[in-house]
Amino acid sequence: MNNKIVCVSALFALMTSCVFAQQKDAIVSKNQLDEVVISDSKFALPKEKSGKVITKITSQDLKMKEGQSVATILNSVAGVEINGSQSVAGKNLGYYIRGGKSSQVLILIDGIPVTDASGISLEYDLRLLPAEQVESIEIMKGASSTLYGTGAATGVINISLKKSGKKAIQGNVYLNAGTYNTAFTSKTSPQDYNQGFSVNGNVDKVNYFASLNSTETTGMSQIAPPNENVAYEVDRFSRINYLAKLGYKVCDKLTLDFFGNFDKINNDYDGGFDNTGTNDVSQNHSKTEQSRFGFMPKYKYDKGEFILNSSFNKIGRTYNELDSYSGTVGLSQYDSRSVNVDGYNKYEFSKSLFLVTGAQYQFHDMNSETPYGGVVKENAKFNMIDPYVTGVFTSDFGLNLNAGARLNIHSEYGNQLVYNVNPSYDFKAFPLKVLASYSTAFVTPSLYQLYSPYGNTDLTPEKNTTVEAGFETQILDEKLRFSAVGFYREQNNFIGFSPTYKYINIEGTNKAKGVETEITFTLNEKIKWISNYTFTQVDEALDRLIPKHKVNSSLDYQICPRTTFNVNYQYVDGRNDAFFDGNTYGTKKIVLGSYQLVNASLNYELVKSRLTIFGAVTNILNEEFVENVGYNTLGRNFKLGLNIKL
């Protein structure tokens, strides 16, 4: 551990020396508190008037992370742990924010909730989304059910996809390839491929965007061998994505937007149980297909704006799995449909006060057929109708207030009321914003938890309450920004699994608390340093795969007008995991060791505004570590790529 501390200190010292070595060339950066965010009111709001510390990953930030997955990019955000992001591409992901699990993190794509209604916890699979289709990401932590409904208990991840440009026609083509090694292998041939293209434009009143992405990886086994001298066969991961957007500007006040996408994953996997199972995966194969389409009209009028987000989502998952006891292959099929309609209106009473009123309708159903029993679609369905209201007050003297309430009307368990109060104060004489909030949230039981052979129709929602307080400041001529937020969360009515193999609401309160800090130093146009530290402490019932301490640090350096360099560091503290033995059906606690990763990338604009090439090295120190007990993780790997603008 002392060696790790020395490494961290040395890296920080190196970054600091790099920064101050070029201070004589300093150029004042734009005030980052003037950024516009949308997550905490559903409408554009200057960041200094927001009552939250919202992390925004911009398109420029994403350029510095070329070749990375959405999960890996999110894993570097303060307070966010994406378990599985450093493992084989086909490994399932877990999302942990403020001590909460995947079902308590809501993912939005272009403001619309996405979910797999046949999943155990209604979570969304981020493996379906390629980073190359993403324009920007906002992460808002804390209970947010007032605006976003079920699942927004510990955080909201709002992913905005790319849009059309201003020209009549333009596009880009990209290709990257890299090695695919664990810490114990050293293959030099490319086994990780990612390629695609997009075309977009704007003609008169019509704009369009279309994209195709293809990803293919091989060369690694999901499950880890007992030691480095044993070679397991490889698990292939293949993904293809189609995305299309079409917009029509009827007039200055009314725009109509349509979208459709199709995503498909083919994936080999190991074993029939979490963390265990055989390596005989020649017959263990899964396929996921997702179809989404929607309609999003927007109407602006003198005093405000009305937006309607509507979507239909269909997901099908199949698993061909070898039964190690009988030697036969079993087929499992899961299908789900989701409808989401969210209409909301912003009305401005004055320059300082606006009111957001809305109503959201959701419908979900599913069916499944497995060797162990199934779920009939006619029985497994529910709907929700949620009216909500949020008021936002901003002032010239610095006081801001965001407060609201939502009534969840569920077809199965009745009504649920949630609310939030979020005051903040932006000092005008000194660049300091202080904030506090008290928010409640809920997580509805999933269809699987209600209607599967292990289901329980008497389940009621999980309830969450979060209190947070913190500040954000920007000093040294707006070059240095620092934020810190402390939170305390209580969770009740937790949905767990009983000894009789049924889902139940577990009595009692589970607590999580912690601190999230971030520092950004923009010395000039060439050098930017971002670091964050997260401390999370949870009760024993929540303590799985959540690091108590986590550090991320990243340095961006523009070497010359066409060349940028990035180096980043991550330290993840030891975590608890649970090992389920498929032979004895017993579970025991495992403590995973801490680890640190160092990555670097170099981008070079070979032909100005036309051709960019990049190279990246991940896990430079070839650190041996474990994300989940029994599974492989990535060692030192190299990647090369190019991007051509047409």
CATH classification at residue 57: 2.40.170.20
How far apart, in whole angstroms, are the C-alpha atoms of residue 545 and residue 96? 8
Instruction: Specify the DSSP element, H or E, that contains 172.
Output: strand 170-178
How far apart, in whole angstroms, are the C-alpha atoms of residue 484 and residue 519? 9
Domain that holds residue 451: 2-645
**Is the Cβ–Cβ distance between 447 and 380 less than 8 Å?**
yes
Six-digit token pair at 309?
């987000």
How far apart, in whole angstroms, are the C-alpha atoms of residue 598 and residue 377? 48
How many residues are listed for the chain in this entry?
646
Instruction: Tell me the residue type at 253.
Output: K
User: For residue 257, what pLDDT is reported?
Assistant: 97
SS3 421: strand
Torsion of CA 265, 268, 273, 277, to 10 degrees: -170
User: For residue 324, what pLDDT is reported?
Assistant: 58
- At a CB cut-off of 8 Å and minimum separation 6, what does 368 contact? 118, 332, 333, 334, 335, 374, 375, 448, 452
User: For residue 582, what pLDDT is reported?
Assistant: 64
User: For residue 331, what pLDDT is reported?
Assistant: 87
Instruction: Tell me the residue type at 282.
Output: S
How far apart, in whole angstroms, are the C-alpha atoms of residue 239 and residue 362? 28
Nearest residue to 566 via CA among 61, 20, 130, 10: 61
Provide the β-strand partners of residue 297: 256
Task: Give pTM, 2 decimals.
Answer: 0.91
**Is the Cβ–Cβ distance between 318 and 287 less than 8 Å?**
yes
How far apart, in whole angstroms, are the C-alpha atoms of residue 108 and residue 457? 28
Six-digit token pair at 620?
């430079």
pLDDT < 50 positions in the chain: 1-33, 273-277, 281
Nearest residue to 159 via CA among 235, 232, 58: 58
pLDDT one-digit tens code per residue, 316-369: 999 987 665 556 667 899 999 999 999 999 999 999 999 999 999 999 999 999
How far apart, in whole angstroms, are the C-alpha atoms of residue 83 and residue 63? 23
Domains: count for the chain: 1
Six-digit token pair at 403?
């407060």
How far apart, in whole angstroms, are the C-alpha atoms of residue 377 and residue 370? 14
CA 559 from chain centre, in angstroms, equals: 31
pLDDT one-digit tens code per residue, 556-586: 999 999 999 999 999 999 999 988 766 666 7
Question: Can you give the C-alpha Rg of the chain in angstroms?
Answer: 24
Please state, in angstroms and as integers, the Cα–Cα distance from residue 441 to each residue in 7, 104, 434, following that order: 40, 9, 23
User: For residue 630, what pLDDT is reported?
Assistant: 86
User: For residue 9, what pLDDT is reported?
Assistant: 38
Task: Give 476's DSSP letter.
Answer: T
